[in-house]
Amino acid sequence: MTVHDMKHAASDSARLEAVGGRLSRVDGPAKITGAAHYAVEQQLEGLTHAVLVGATIAAGKVSGIDTRAAETAPGVLAVLTPDTIMPLNGASDWFGNPSPQPTFLPLVREVTFSGQHVAAVVAETFEQAVAAAALVKVWYDEMPAIVDLSDGKAGDGIPIDAMTKEWGDAQAAFAAAPVRICAAYNTPREFQAAMEPHGLIARWEGDELTVWEPSQWLDGMARTYAEWFSVPFENVRLVSPYIGGGFGSKALALAHSAVAAAAARMLGRPVKLVLNRPQNFTSYGGRAATRQTVAIGADRDGKIQSIVHRGVNETAVDGMWVEPLGSVTSIMYATPNFSSKQNVVRVNTVVPGAKRAPGENPSAFGIECAIDELAHELGIDPLEMRLINYAEQDPHAKKAWSTRQLREAFAAGAEAFGWAKRSPQPRAMRDGHQLIGWGVAAGTYPVRRAHGEAVVRIMADGSVVVESSSIDMGQGTYTILAQTAAETLGVPVERVSVKLGDSHFARAGVTGGSRLAGVMTGAVYKAAGQALDELIGLALSDTRSPFQKLQANTLQVRDGRIASPRGEGPEITIAELMSAVGRDHIEAKGDTLPASTTPEERYKNYTTIAMSIPHTEGEYSRHSWCAHFVEVRVDEDFGTVRVSRVVSALDSGRLYNPKLAESQWKGGIIMGIGQALLEEGVVDRRHGRIVNGNFADYMLPTNADIPDIQTISVGIPDPHSSALGGKGVGELAIVGIAPAIANAVFHATGKRVRDLPITLEKLI
């Protein structure tokens, strides 16, 4: 089946189980009944429990650790410190670059952020480990810490030349433009805040390590463990059948993972280590705090002449994270002159990491607020402003868009929202004490592509098994791969069981950057096609097959029954054929790699991100697109902002399962509401420590904060983006929500809030 054929099968009227059908999550019943066992819920013989001791300073040295009281506490098996934990080998980074340090100590003597792990206690029970961990005494030589981007000691940071994007003469064109705006936009440190905490169970059997750990990247994490402990990659098995939310945070094996695996090796017993909630705010990085300056020069008719953009994000003292702040700025609008540059500033924090749409998310906050400010300055409707400056091709790559249904998104969203009724002036709408505002913003996310492989096995009873070491963290992998296999093979979807989350299955790269669905549907489509070919080949050629005498060229399979296309001859089930030809299974392993790929390249493809395919490869620039329309109500006395309506029109290409895509979009929109109004990691400037590292004080939206959300799919199949025509879904919808809300708050109140989150004291 070609993409063109698929297009006709893609409507919502398609059969539930077909690709494009609104099948409910196949893993849903197991999750809501508690039958789904998450990684750290495994019950193992002889399991021990580890608890970490975190640094109470943000910078300095550990000058002494007294473990005596902890060692003699009930049930304690070991107290690990930088002096007693086994040294590990430095592991390569996620590009596959070797570690600059030959050894890696997951417990540190040199402290570079508050909460960094300095010791660990392993005991027979969790309670004993907690009690003993409190008895470990640590002394420090404290040094002055650089708390955050506004710290006087932070400086301008390090220029990241690879982030520079320039064409034309942006400075001169800005200076010459008749209308100019320039403003600074800040986003705070934010956290992924998954419900399921990070944690793992590690068990050694000889030189073989099994790790049960929530993972967005089994093969990548297995590689890291293998390198840390100098064992072959094949000796490490990662198991992660379900993930209780990752949002970018669960793609890497981290220091606490190393502590547990080292403790298990040292003790010769399995070790369970789960980060407590405050440790989930200090043991791995959330979204880096960012600052941007956006300057736009335009003609009086609204045509942009120049964009000058400068960005800064925080990174760690001992680790590098670049949050690409010019990513949306450089592609959203057509401009003849452009300049974007970025610095990173080292502060005393755990190294920041990926959180849903890293780069694009804060980037859009800058440019999508700035365009609104320009529209207001010019007295042009902000939606019209976006259409005046619509980019007909990728302004940076100078390539055609593969597909860009953004104009359609603006039109569909505006129509559903009733945008035409908006009065241009701020403070024009009110309901009692509530000022009402409408805002719009666009979003985008690149189509990140990679290669994947899958095993499809047709069993003797006609059922089908799909295996992949990719994962499902709630986005629907189990479901869409079942749909893909069912449609390709012509079997009912309930006869397909999808097995994920075991690194001994067929390999997969990272689940991140909204790439997995496109990669894995392609791999399953290919593997299932190979299995089908073998099945039909057997049916046509095996002497024991009832079809052998037909002399037909091909057969078709529908609802698990095999027949000739014209209905001649017999019709039998797959099970009957398998029985007739004496096969207990047919197995095909399909991958999307070129046939010439070497084993080394295959390993690199799945265990690093070095072989990801650029979204601007070849003739096209590939992105998902969206337009958000938001209504807010702001209490004029209290400054409280509530989002009362969201209409978003989105172009994710073809949807493999519209029901699940809509859920992901809504999840992104909800997370964006939290980002706009609530989320902020608050740091005590004297101690360099997050003080709201828990779910009561780190504000996430509740159901009461979320209005009805309408999503509209405006995508069309994009053959340049994936095998089946889909583009990215998971990250797209969060991009642009925060600026849409900020723009709506301006429309409601006349106040521009350029620092997220928009909390009440900024409006009273």
What is the DSSP secondary-structure string of 79-148?
EE-TTTSPPEEPPP-TT-PPPSSSEE-SS-SEE-STT-EEEEEEESSHHHHHHHHTT-EEEEEE-----S
Largest CA distance in the chain: 86
150 near other proteins, rule: CB under 8 A: no
Closer of 204 and 281 to other proteins (Cβ)? 281
Q: Judged by CB under 8 A, which of 48, 67, 114, 624 binds other proteins?
A: 114
639 near other proteins, rule: CB under 8 A: yes
In three state form, how does the secondary structure of 347-359 look? ECCCCCCCCCCCC
Q: Rounded to the nearest whole angstrom, what is the least distance from the CB of residue 135 to other proteins in the complex?
A: 10
Task: State the DSSP H helix or E strand holding residue 436, giving kind and residue range, or none if neither.
Answer: strand 434-446
Q: Judged by CB under 8 A, which of 9, 36, 69, 130 binds other proteins?
A: 130
* 8 Å CB contact between 16 and 493: yes
Closer of 473 and 670 to other proteins (Cβ)? 670
Give the bridge partners for 497, in sequence order: 465
Q: Rounded to the nearest whole angstrom, what is the least distance from the CB of residue 312 to other proteins in the complex?
A: 23
Q: Rounded to the nearest whole angstrom, what is the least distance from the CB of residue 56 to other proteins in the complex?
A: 5
Contact letters (x/-) for other proteins, 354-373, by CB under 8 A? Answer: --------------------
Candidates 125-133, 529-537, 551-559, 623-631: pick the segment binding other proteins (CB under 8 A): 125-133
Task: Look at strands 453-459 and 585-591 and give their pairing.
Answer: antiparallel
Candidates 11-19, 150-158, 517-525, 701-709: pick the segment binding other proteins (CB under 8 A): 701-709
At what angle are helices 218-229 and 599-607 packed, to 10 degrees? 100
186 near other proteins, rule: CB under 8 A: no
CA angle 611, 360, 337 (to 5 degrees): 100
Closer of 693 and 730 to other proteins (Cβ)? 693
Question: How many residues in the shown chain lie near other proteins by CB under 8 A?
Answer: 39
Q: Rounded to the nearest whole angstrom, what is the least distance from the CB of residue 150 to other proteins in the complex?
A: 14
390 DSSP assignment = B
Closer of 17 and 151 to other proteins (Cβ)? 151
Q: Judged by CB under 8 A, which of 530, 640, 644, 663 binds other proteins?
A: 640
CB neighbour list of residue 171: distance below 8 Å, 6 or more residues apart:
306, 308, 339
682 near other proteins, rule: CB under 8 A: yes
736 DSSP assignment = T
Kindly identify the residues of this chain, within the stretch 662-681, that bind other proteins according to CB under 8 A: 677-678
Catalytic residue flag (residue 731): yes
Task: State the DSSP H helix or E strand holding residue 431, giving kind and residue range, or none if neither.
Answer: strand 429-431
Candidates 331-339, 381-389, 485-493, 636-644: pick the segment binding other proteins (CB under 8 A): 636-644
Q: Rounded to the nearest whole angstrom, what is the least distance from the CB of residue 107 to other proteins in the complex?
A: 17
Tokens 């997220």: give the residue.
756
Q: Judged by CB under 8 A, which of 687, 716, 750, 755 binds other proteins?
A: 687
691 near other proteins, rule: CB under 8 A: yes
| Secondary structure percentages of the chain, helix, strand, coil, to 5 | 30, 25, 45
**At 64, phi and psi to the nearest 5?**
-175, 150
Q: Judged by CB under 8 A, which of 110, 705, 710, 716 binds other proteins?
A: 705
Contact letters (x/-) for other proteins, 22-51, by CB under 8 A? Answer: ------------------------------
Between CA 322 and CA 247 the distance in angstroms is 17
Closer of 59 and 308 to other proteins (Cβ)? 59
**At 399, phi and psi to the nearest 5?**
-125, 160
**At 652, phi and psi to the nearest 5?**
-105, 25
696 near other proteins, rule: CB under 8 A: yes
Q: Judged by CB under 8 A, which of 689, 727, 747, 754 binds other proteins?
A: 689
Given 453, 679, 680, 731, the catalytic residue: 731
Structure tokens at 73: 């506490």
Q: Rounded to the nearest whole angstrom, what is the least distance from the CB of residue 644 to other proteins in the complex?
A: 11
Closer of 405 and 692 to other proteins (Cβ)? 692
759 near other proteins, rule: CB under 8 A: yes
Structure tokens at 505: 């299955």
Q: Judged by CB under 8 A, which of 127, 299, 533, 559 binds other proteins?
A: 127
> For residue 6, which amino acid is it?
M
Q: Judged by CB under 8 A, which of 161, 584, 637, 708 binds other proteins?
A: 637
Tokens 């993930």: give the residue.
243
Q: Rounded to the nearest whole angstrom, what is the least distance from the CB of residue 81 to other proteins in the complex?
A: 17
Candidates 343-351, 383-391, 485-493, 639-647: pick the segment binding other proteins (CB under 8 A): 639-647
CB neighbour list of residue 554: distance below 8 Å, 6 or more residues apart:
536, 540, 564, 565
Q: Rounded to the nearest whole angstrom, what is the least distance from the CB of residue 352 to other proteins in the complex?
A: 20
Closer of 132 and 586 to other proteins (Cβ)? 132
Give the bridge partners for 287, in sequence order: 190
Candidates 240-248, 468-476, 585-593, 697-705: pick the segment binding other proteins (CB under 8 A): 697-705
* 8 Å CB contact between 629 and 413: yes
734 DSSP assignment = G
At what angle are helices 360-378 and 737-749 packed, to 10 degrees? 30
Q: Rounded to the nearest whole angstrom, what is the least distance from the CB of residue 91 to other proteins in the complex?
A: 30
**At 515, phi and psi to the nearest 5?**
-100, -20
Residue 193's nearest CA partner among 692, 761, 529 is 692
Kindly identify the residues of this chain, within the stretch 250-309, that bind other proteins according to CB under 8 A: 278
Closer of 307 and 436 to other proteins (Cβ)? 436
Cα–Cα distances in angstroms (integers) from residue 285 to residues 336, 355, 358, 393, in the given order: 37, 9, 12, 35
Conformational region of residue 39, where left means phi above 0, alpha means psi within -120 to 50, and beta covers everything else = alpha
SS3 (DSSP) at 276: coil
684 near other proteins, rule: CB under 8 A: yes
Q: Rounded to the nearest whole angstrom, what is the least distance from the CB of residue 47 to other proteins in the complex?
A: 20
Tokens 């913003």: give the residue.
441
Candidates 123-131, 299-307, 322-330, 570-578: pick the segment binding other proteins (CB under 8 A): 123-131
760 near other proteins, rule: CB under 8 A: yes
Q: Rounded to the nearest whole angstrom, what is the least distance from the CB of residue 289 to other proteins in the complex?
A: 15
Instruction: Work out whether the CA dihedral 10, 13, 19, 23 comes out positive or negative.
Output: positive
Residue 443's nearest CA partner among 509, 356, 529, 536 is 356
Q: Rounded to the nearest whole angstrom, what is the least distance from the CB of residue 689 to other proteins in the complex?
A: 6
Residue 506's nearest CA partner among 570, 454, 568, 572 is 454
105 near other proteins, rule: CB under 8 A: no
Between CA 526 and CA 621 the distance in angstroms is 25
Closer of 114 and 463 to other proteins (Cβ)? 114
756 near other proteins, rule: CB under 8 A: no
Candidates 286-294, 497-505, 634-642, 723-731: pick the segment binding other proteins (CB under 8 A): 634-642
CB neighbour list of residue 538: distance below 8 Å, 6 or more residues apart:
545, 577, 581, 583, 586
Residue 218's nearest CA partner among 450, 50, 39 is 39
134 near other proteins, rule: CB under 8 A: yes
Q: Rounded to the nearest whole angstrom, what is the least distance from the CB of residue 37 to other proteins in the complex?
A: 24
Binding residues vs other proteins (CB under 8 A): 54, 56, 114, 127, 130-131, 134, 278, 433, 635, 637-640, 642, 677-678, 682-687, 689, 691-692, 696-697, 699, 701-705, 757, 759-761, 764
The residues annotated as belonging to the active site are 731
